[in-house]
Amino acid sequence: MPIELLMPALSPTMTEGTLARWLKKEGDAVKSGDVLCEIETDKATMEFEAVDEGTLGKILVPDGSAGIAVNTPIGVLLEEGEDASAISAAKPAAAAPAAVAAPAASAPVAAAAPVASAPAVASGDRVFASPLAKRIAANAGVDLKAVKGTGPYGRVVKADVEQAIKGGVAASAATAPAAAAPAAKAAPAPAPAVANPFEPAFEEIPNSSMRKVIARRLTEAKSTIPHFYLSIDCELDALLKVRSDLNGRSDAYKLSVNDFIIRAVALALKKVPAANASWGEEAIKRYTDVDVSVAVATPNGLITPIVHHADHKGLAAISNEMKELAGKARDGKLKPEEFQGGGFTISNLGMFGIKDFAAIINPPQGCILAVGAGEQRPVVKAGALAIATVMTCTLSVDHRVVDGAVGAEFLAAFKKLVEDPLSMLL
């Protein structure tokens, strides 16, 4: 039997992807481990490797196709001894929704009984559902108001709609057969949206998969996580001197202030492990590894590559690793293990001159540290006014996971390391 190649789920948040390009052509021999195509996910562009051996018999989804749902057939692999006649039953991915919708159109008249109650449920109440669930429901003629959601806060997700289709639920009033209500008067078409005549000129930029996921996750984070914020000022003069001295000793590395911050965060988490945690409904997860995520700006949005075991790495190793990760992030070449996970995030806008800010927590993590610019400010030392280079850092905290005292203890440990940078070299 031919083997269907399905759109893979290459990240936990991926529901659909873009098939960037095929690296194999129809008729090419395929071995296990061969790269078949490149797929753009919500996070990066990744390679899709073959698991089975055979011949690429048919490409169902062409290069550049966007919005391909996970588990949709994208190609057919022929096993040894099979020819093109074996794939005659294979259908293009675009035909899949029509095949699902067919049973709804040919449903027996007896199924029309629930439709009579449509006005009662069509009360205008909003139904919370994922975009993919809405699309599947629309194609299959399923009334979302009759589907019980199992997602967060009762949100209807893909699995709920698929289960409803298997169980046989009433068609929505919008897709019910006209014969079910012959005497019903056609509802008036909704009035077209009226453009605001006073709105400035604009151009529409389509949302990428990555941008949609960022929007969804940050909205959920700000809506469901009880944030609170702690700020602290750190003097950088000693750190800047050590950085200059170390950079002058070798051409094998070039340390940035951010490299010192990553190292200081890692060591502070080692001293205050209660801050290296995330929320779970049954238990708080306290991480035993110190994996630090670092926000990197890309053309499509923010992504957070991870420095794994950062507490066991020196400044030079952290510096070189971050340069490599940042480059791969901007090129969309990060591997899943390089951006999925992490126990604590750093977001540094100091290089843009931002004095201080409060970042949104990256769920499921419990904390994110927002780092501002180092700038010369007046300070009081030994009762006298002096000038020092000062950096403001703000810790955003999930109060379900980390209490105020723990957050303050972490910031105190972090400040001590930043202001005594030689202790980071031990």
Residue 173: helix, strand or coil by DSSP? coil
Give the tens place of pLDDT for each residue, 98-123: 333 333 333 333 333 333 333 333 33
Percent above pLDDT 70 for the chain: 81
Contacts of 172-176 spanning 24+ positions with Cβ under 8 A: 172/118, 172/137, 172/141, 172/142, 172/143, 172/144, 172/145, 173/115, 173/118, 173/119, 173/122, 173/143, 175/104, 175/138, 175/141, 176/112, 176/115, 176/118, 176/141
CATH number 3.90.1720.10 is the correct assignment for the domain at 3-90? no
* CB-CB neighbours of 123 under 10 Å: 7
46-55, 135-144, 172-181: lowest mean pLDDT where? Answer: 172-181
- Look at the block and give the residue holding tokens 């911050």: 261
* CB-CB neighbours of 47 under 10 Å: 15
Distance CA 156, CA 167 (A): 16
As a whole number, mean pLDDT of residues 157-166 equals 80
Q: Is the pLDDT of residue 396 over 50?
A: yes
Pick from 94, 96, 114, 226: nearest CA to 170: 114
As a whole number, mean pLDDT of residues 230-245 equals 97
Sequence ranges of the chain with CATH classification 2.40.50.100:
3-90
**pLDDT confidence tier of residue 193, bands split at 50, 70 and 90:** low
As a whole number, mean pLDDT of residues 387-400 equals 97
52-56, 171-175, 267-271, 334-338: lowest mean pLDDT where? Answer: 171-175
Q: What share of the chain is helix, strand, coil (3-state, %, to 5)?
A: 35, 25, 40
Superfamily of domain covering 226-425? Chloramphenicol acetyltransferase-like domain (3.30.559.10)
Q: Which residue has the higher pLDDT, 149 or 35?
A: 35
Q: Which residue has the higher pLDDT, 158 or 204?
A: 204
Q: Is the pLDDT of residue 253 over 80?
A: yes
Sequence ranges of the chain with CATH classification 4.10.320.10:
98-180
Q: Is the pLDDT of residue 377 over 50?
A: yes
As a whole number, mean pLDDT of residues 14-30 equals 87
20-29, 101-110, 230-239: lowest mean pLDDT where? Answer: 101-110
Residue 40: helix, strand or coil by DSSP? strand
Query: What is the signed CA dihedral for 300, 304, 305, 307, rounded to 10 degrees?
Result: 160
As a whole number, mean pLDDT of residues 228-247 equals 97
Q: Is the pLDDT of residue 330 over 70?
A: yes
> For position 219, what pLDDT does the model report?
92
As a whole number, mean pLDDT of residues 198-206 equals 87
**pLDDT confidence tier of residue 83, bands split at 50, 70 and 90:** confident
Q: Is the pLDDT of residue 184 over 60?
A: no
Which of 22-26, 142-146, 194-198, 296-300 has maximum average pLDDT?
22-26
> For position 110, what pLDDT does the model report?
35
**246's tokens:** 């170390």
Q: Which residue has the higher pLDDT, 126 or 31?
A: 31
Please provide the distance, in angstroms rounded to a whole number, between the alpha carbons at the two ends of the chain.
62
> For position 181, what pLDDT does the model report?
43
* CB-CB neighbours of 60 under 10 Å: 22
9: amino acid identity, one letter: A
DSSP state of 287: -
Q: Is the pLDDT of residue 163 over 60?
A: yes
Indicate which residues carry an active-site annotation: 399
Sequence ranges of the chain with CATH classification 3.30.559.10:
226-425
> For position 169, what pLDDT does the model report?
59
- What's the topology of domain 98-180? Dihydrolipoamide Transferase (4.10.320)
